[in-house]
Amino acid sequence: MEFVPAPAVHRVLCADCGTPIVPNSANLCVACLRNTVDITEGIPKQASVSYCRNCERFLSPPSTWTIARPESQELLAICLRKLKGLNKVRLTEAHFIWTEPHSKRLRVSLTIQKEVLTSTILEQIFEIEYLVQHGQCSDCTKLAAKNTWRALVQVRQKVPHKRTFLFLEQLILKHGAQKDTVSVKEVRDGLDFFYSSRSHALKMVEFLQSVVPTRSKASEQLLSADTHTNTANFKYTYSVEIIPICKDDLVCIPPKLARQLSNINPLTMCSRVGNSIHLLDPATLKFTELTAPVYWRTPFDVLATVSDLVEFTVLDVEPSGTTRGKWVLADAQVALSGAFRSSHDDDAMDYEISEASNQIFHTRTHLGGILQPGDAALGYYLTNTNFNSDDFAALPAHRVPDVVLVKKAYPHRRKKNKTRAWKLRSMATEAGEEGDAVSGRGVVGRMGGRDVKKVEEDYELFLRELEEDEEMRGAVNLYKAKLNQPGAGSGLAGGKTRRKPQQVIDMDDAMGEDAADVPEPPPETDDEDEPDFPEVKLDELLDDLDEMTLEDA
């Protein structure tokens, strides 16, 4: 086998330094070629980027503010857009060079290529230093001015409690509908949401229509107009009114409307509130859905609310076997709570209560699958009751029951002063407004000095509804609370503990101002605890990311 040598490579001397090189069109080595031709010419070696410290966003040319983390791909793209002349070369690599976080400097290393002579491509690595300039974005500037909202959403519900808005606040937080809100203000019958853009207000109106039954109307106010460019500046206001019917309310449907709604019994109770009202007849388990347009064509008032509920003792329950979902029809015998007391107090009020409680009432209820003899239940006591309603007065006497049971009660458990292992978040805490950490009620009830006690009672009733209704609990986010902190498990945003038992709160609602003279009942023993009390399971709770961030810091 004959050895064939490789062809010899002819070399020439560099025209400047005389180094032997492979021949090229310039006859220059790489070092001399770099000294002769600078491919980074026209690319600035220093630049600046704008940063808003309030919302932590960077200005992306030409006028878009973008959230970008340090040394992220988004921030690198913003830095590259600030460079002029980069389109005349080929960018092969770009990365950040570490700098101190407080130095207000960003260093970026670039690798570029460019054809300098015929078939001669030169590659070069260089650094660019960016100065971070602090400023305010347009949104934060409007927020600091405190008078630059462009759209307002007024949410109202004419009811004597705040439980609807407490639940609505949790729905807004779960779906992130508050992210574009400039500020929130509490008014007499609801809340006002302020926005810097009309489109953001329209998104909130659409969200409210999807979660609660509402009607809305819009109006606009002319601020300024330019006749030369035919442009005008408006402020927009959207009024949203929620149907004044809440969960567990007792209603009497007008007879004509009841015939249209599958001929249901006019005397019904509200079992659920979504984007429509779900009405249930406890005596027959008939169910109907009342939409917002149908209600506003024929509006009617509520007969009784949860503040009118009376506690009964269940003597006997006989399920009939008829079921609809989780409801089971049953015949029940009930008596007013305290009907079998062995002794009576000398007070005249207690004597009247005991005389009225010597009756046993027979009724039909939808709670046949829940109630057992000896249980306590809350319901409406309709015997000898007068309502300011022509529709209720027109009902035949045989169609009006003596008692309408609404839900099961847990009086022994409520007498115990136990804290909750979960809590709720609020829009006020999310926005970081001053004073919200000590208000203890979130965005509802922050005005101070007006019905503070009533709002706290509504908040406590709302927390109990979440505990006792699994379906309602699944619609909101519950977070783990630190029980070692004072009052952290009460569920209040500010951390107030529950010092008043259930029985005292119920008597406060019934007797008003005279409730201050009622002594608190003695503490109960563990023998009287309800075994079927609906506990909130651990897998239903979420971790509070804000507390985790503070602990890591």
pLDDT beyond 80 at 433 = no
Total Cβ atoms within 10 A of residue 187: 11
pLDDT beyond 60 at 415 = no
In a domain, 297, yes or no: yes
Q: Are residues 302 and 378 in the same domain?
A: yes
Residue with more model confidence, 77 or 34: 77
Q: Are residues 18 and 69 in the same domain?
A: no
Q: Are residues 13 and 129 in the same domain?
A: no
Q: Are residues 77 and 126 in the same domain?
A: yes
In a domain, 311, yes or no: yes
| Residue 42 DSSP symbol | T
Q: What is the pTM of this model?
A: 0.66
Q: What is the pLDDT of residue 459?
A: 86
Q: Which of 74, 106, 139 is the last residue of a domain?
A: 139
Percent of the chain with pLDDT over 70: 76
**121/338 Cα distance (integer angstroms):** 97
**DSSP character string of 11-39:** -EE-TTT--EE---SS---HHHHHHH--T
* 428-449: average pLDDT: 47
In sequence order, the β-bridge partners of residue 336 are 312
Domain that holds residue 72: 39-139
| Count of domains for the chain | 3
**356/341 Cα distance (integer angstroms):** 13
Token readout for 507 is 């008597």
Token readout for 494 is 């500010």
Q: Are residues 110 and 26 in the same domain?
A: no
In a domain, 394, yes or no: yes
Q: What is the pLDDT of residue 25?
A: 66
Q: Which of 89, 104, 139 is the last residue of a domain?
A: 139
- Lowest mean pLDDT segment, chosen from 47-61, 216-230, 254-268, 354-368: 354-368
Q: Are residues 334 and 381 in the same domain?
A: yes
In a domain, 31, yes or no: yes
**286/332 Cα distance (integer angstroms):** 18
Q: Are residues 29 and 55 in the same domain?
A: no
Q: Are residues 396 and 261 in the same domain?
A: yes
pLDDT tens profile 110-119: 888 887 776 6
Q: Which of 99, 117, 139 is the last residue of a domain?
A: 139
Q: What is the pLDDT of residue 280?
A: 93
Q: Are residues 262 and 389 in the same domain?
A: yes
- The one-letter code for the residue type at 301 is D
In a domain, 302, yes or no: yes
Q: Are residues 21 and 48 in the same domain?
A: no
Q: Are residues 100 and 133 in the same domain?
A: yes
In a domain, 334, yes or no: yes
CB burial class (10 A; 0-12, 13-18, 19+) of residue 254? middle
pLDDT tens profile 255-287: 999 999 989 999 999 999 999 999 999 999 999
In a domain, 101, yes or no: yes
Q: Are residues 254 and 397 in the same domain?
A: yes
- Report the SS3 class of residue 334: strand
In a domain, 529, yes or no: no
